[in-house]
Structures are given as structure tokens and as C-alpha cells.
Structure 1
Amino acid sequence: MTAGAFAPHPTPGIAAATTDLSKVYGTGDARVVALDRVSISFREGEFTAIMGPSGCGKSTLMHCAAGLDQASSGSVRIGTTELATLDDRRLTRLRRDRIGFIFQAFNLMPTLTALENITLPMDLAGRAPDRRWLDRVIGMVGLSQRLDHRPAQLSGGQQQRVAVARALASRPAIVFGDEPTGNLDSRSGAEVLGFLRDSVRELGQTVVMVTHDPVAAGYADRVVFLSDGRLVDEISHPTPDRVLDLMKTLDPRTESTPC
């Protein structure tokens, strides 16, 4: 089994890692262990999907690994940087400069054009985008003809393409996606997943995605599975059917592959 357990020392080729990561909410009778000593590494240039039954800790793991939530104990690193050593200002800077985020809700600014939304994080940081890289990202997600449009003028799939381009535009060390296709129809979702896969294969990006969908997980290079806050299995070169079969062992309520 093991899902890439990570040694306490930085390892070349690792974009992010956790060691003995635990997250506990509440105390006494209300105490809930969301993550229980999770050790995992996310390798550079790899697309990893995180799956498991509802409430197993998928999103909590991603939020802690991305520095959006604070671990109760254990270690979280982006590259060789230990997040626990950073104050709020430096943590904010690290998230802005080295991490890309894609969320289910798109999170676009309605008054800005697609291009302005894509470059917003760099504008806020006072950094000019690498024009050659930016053009490459925009071309990959197929937005070249829609850059002057505002979100309300774009379909849901196009809005999520903008969110993908925004996450990639600053060349982050790692991109985290939390159910990035959850609000999309199957065709738009497949396009967005294809862009994420292409960003790994063509641009060398590192992507970590939380999903409940075996079809979405099939786009990844590997899938890691959580149950009750613990890593329980891993599949390399996944297919939707293999993912579904394993999910059925973790959650008997899983019936069929989403269309």
C-alpha cells in the first residue's frame, strides 16, 4: 500500500510533502480526528488525485498541504520550506508566489476581464508576468479569443479555464485543485481535466486534485485513497474502473462510475 511516505529530510524532486500530519477539530466528546499521522509526498511533474469516502479528510489534507489550514501536529513542506516556520506574512507570500489554486466555485472577479483575472495574483504582488509563459498557458487552455470577456460573458467551462490559467500563470511550484470540475457538465469537466493533465505533461507542472469522481481521477498519474483520516491505498496509472473498484471497498455506497 503506502502512499509515498516521506522521510523527515527534504528530497530532490518533491514539490510538497507532509510527515505525520494530524488535524484535530474540537475537544472532549466533540473531538474529531480529520487526519491521523498522514505522510505523503507529491512529486514534481506529477498529477496526483486524492480520493476517499465523504468525510475521510480529502479536503483537509489538501488545505493543510497548501497552507490554507494549520496542522494540529506534524510537518508540511512546500519544496524544502517548512510551513510551520513561517509567520502570517511569509506564509501569505509563499501561497501567492509558489502555489496555484483552482476551486469548484471558480472565484473570479466579476468586474475584471479574463486576462485581468488571470494576471491578478501577479498584479497584486507587483510582478510583471512572463509574457512568453503567459501566452503559452493561455493558448493551452484555449482562451486566446476570450481574453476581453468578463466572467458573466463566459460559460462555466470557460470560467474554469480562466481559473486554471490563473493558477498556472505565475509558474507555481504546485497547483492544488479542490473538486475543480464539480460545477461543470461532463464535457466542460473533461476539457478542464485535459488542460490540467497537459500542464503536467507539456509544462512540467505539479498538480494535486481532490475529487470524488473516478472518471476525473483517471486523468491523474496516480490516485491516493484516504479513509477515516488515514492513507490506505494508492494506484499508479489509474483507470476509472480500477478507481471505482477500490472505492467500492472503502465505501459500499459507491455504485457506478459517474457519467
Structure 2
Amino acid sequence: MPQSPTAASDPAAPAAPAAPAAVRAVGLRKVYGRGEAAVAALDGVDVSFAAGAFTAIMGPSGSGKSTLMHCLAGLDTATSGQVWLGGTELTALGDRGLTDLRRDRIGFVFQAFNLLPVLTAEENLLLPVQLAGRTPEAAWMRDVVHRLGLTDRLRHKPSQLSGGQQQRVAVARALLPRPDVVFADEPTGNLDSRTGAEVLSLLRSSVRETGQTVVMVTHDPVAASYADRVVLLVDGTLAGELLDPTPDAVADALATLSSVGTAATRGA
């Protein structure tokens, strides 16, 4: 049963799932600029993301959702607070440690497919594993390629693939190293609705069938409905969550958050 939009917008709503956390933030704060020009993109966020679950991060424009994902994934540094990937504190690592962690334990799927045009689909999806000096497990690679419907497309270059096929390659590339967490940043933003639904179904099945952990930033209530849970942000702070979300419940919660933000701005 989806949580009501009213409960979802309550800042006192629980932020952490009961299952063990794959990644979590404690007192996370990110400030851009200095002095009077300083802007807190994240302002003391405490949140955790369950292992083996599909979680979406949502909020109005400027709510801090992309900044949160970038800090969780080690792509951006926090001003203060902690980020933990399992038992490893990302915020205590130096540049080399973060590079190694992102390579070995994190997968990424972006709105832009980020495929190298001179490489085939197979070469693109193998590249991160090869750069890490590892050999992919043959049976796992066959399974990933088969489940993503890429068996007949491995020798094609990106220019010979549709947008949906390119994003499937990107998903396969993210899954191949068996990362602790796959972070997806607007993964359907460049796709039509039908192709986007196919990619979201693939992410959903990777959670259900292989126990993969997926954390996705999206602005689309329909995309968020594929998740087990939606974490809501507004003005850099946690604003609640939705469990077993539906598109209507997500849309209503976002409308409530946007109206609250607008009212606060007018009253300032």
C-alpha cells in the first residue's frame, strides 16, 4: 500500500529502511560558494539505502537530489558529514582511494550513454573491467548480455545502435563488475516512453533476480514507480519517503513539496 502524499511530505517520516544499508549518509552537508553567496545544496541529510533494493531520489528542481547522488557515489566531495558504502567511509578517502572504489564497487548509468564511439558494444561494456585489470566471469557476462537483449548487438558500434540499445549497453557495463551499488542519474531522460520503460524494467529485474542495489535520480513519477521506495528532498533536506510508490502518489507528493517550497519562498 503506497504511503499517502501527506505522510510522505512529513519531515518526521522515517528515512531509513529496515534492511541493511548498502550506502548511507550521516549529517551530509554540501555548500557551494562562500560568504553571502554560499548555497547549501544539502543541509544535514541523514538517509540510508537498503541493499538489494531499488530506490529513487526525487524532489523539485534545486532540491539537491543530483548533489546527493553525486556525494553518495563519490563523484563530489561533501562539505561535512559522512558517506558510507557498506563498511567503507567514502568521506575519509583520498583521490586515489575514491578512484579505486568507484572502479571496483560502484556502477554508473547516466542520461547520456557515455559510450566510446570507436568501440563496439562489447568493447564498451568490457572497458571498465579491463581497466581494473580483471577478467569478467564468462557465465555472468553471458547472463547479463542475454537478459539485456544484446547478444546480437555486441559487434555493433554505438552509431549502429538505437538510443535504447545504447542505454542497454550502459546498463550492462554497470552490472558486469557486480558492483555494490548501481547509481542511475536520469537514465531514461534521452529515451522515448516505451524504450524508457524497457530500461527501467531491466533495472527492476536486476534488483529482483540478482539482488543488485540500484539508486536512481529521476524527475519522472512513472520512472519512480518502478522503485521499491522513493526518497523525497526539498531545499537540501529530507522530506519523507514513499514505499511501493505509484505514479499518482509520487506526482501528488511532488506537487505538495513544490507548493510548500513556493509558499516558503513567498514568505521569505
Tell me the equivalent position of 1:217: 224
- Paired residue for 1:251, among 258, 261, 265? 258
Tell me the equivalent position of 1:2: 14
Give the match's secondary structure for 1:19: strand
Tell me the equivalent position of 2:69: 62
Tell me the equivalent position of 1:81: 88
CA deviation digits over 1:161-194, x for unaligned, max 9?
0000000000000000110100000011000000
- Paired residue for 1:30, among 37, 41, 44? 37
1:3 partner letter = A
CA deviation digits over 1:28-75, x for unaligned, max 9?
221100001101111110000000000100000000000000000000
2:225 partner letter = G
Choose between structure 1 and 2 for higher RCO, CA contacts under 8 A separated by at least 6 residues.
2
Tell me the equivalent position of 1:166: 173
Tell me the equivalent position of 1:235: 242
- Paired residue for 1:42, among 49, 56, 76? 49
1:85 CA displacement: 2.2
Q: In 2, Cα distance between the equivalents of 1:59 and 1:84?
A: 17
CA deviation digits over 1:120-145, x for unaligned, max 9?
10111110001111111111111111
Q: Where does structure 1 lack aligned partners over 5 or more consecutive residues? A: 6-10, 254-259
1:137 partner letter = V
Cα contact 1:48–1:220 (8 A) shared by 2: yes
Q: In 2, Cα distance between the equivalents of 1:206 and 1:57?
A: 21
Where does 1:174-185 land on structure 2 (aligned, <5 Å)?
174-185=181-192
Q: Point out the more displaced range, 61-70 or 136-145.
A: 136-145
Q: In 2, Cα distance between the equivalents of 1:13 and 1:170?
A: 21
Cα contact 1:2–1:232 (8 A) shared by 2: no
Tell me the equivalent position of 2:208: 201
State how many pairs are aligned.
248
Q: In 1, Cα distance between the equivalents of 2:100 and 2:24?
A: 19
Q: Which runs of 4+ in 1 moved over 3 A?
A: none
Q: In 1, Cα distance between the equivalents of 2:138 and 2:165?
A: 21
The answer to whether 1:107 aligns with 2:119 is no
Tell me the equivalent position of 2:27: 20
TM-score (norm 1): 0.93
Question: Could you say if the C-alpha distance between residues 66 and 237 of structure 1 is closer, same or farther in structure 2, counting changes exceeding 3 Å?
Answer: same
1:86 CA displacement: 1.6
Give the match's secondary structure for 2:40: strand
Give the match's secondary structure for 1:181: coil
Aligned alpha-carbon RMSD (Å): 1.4
Tell me the equivalent position of 1:147: 154
Cα contact 1:2–1:231 (8 A) shared by 2: no
Give the match's secondary structure for 2:115: coil
Give the match's secondary structure for 1:251: helix
Q: In 1, Cα distance between the equivalents of 2:199 and 2:226?
A: 10
Cα contact 1:62–1:176 (8 A) shared by 2: yes
TM-score (norm 2): 0.90
1:86 partner letter = L
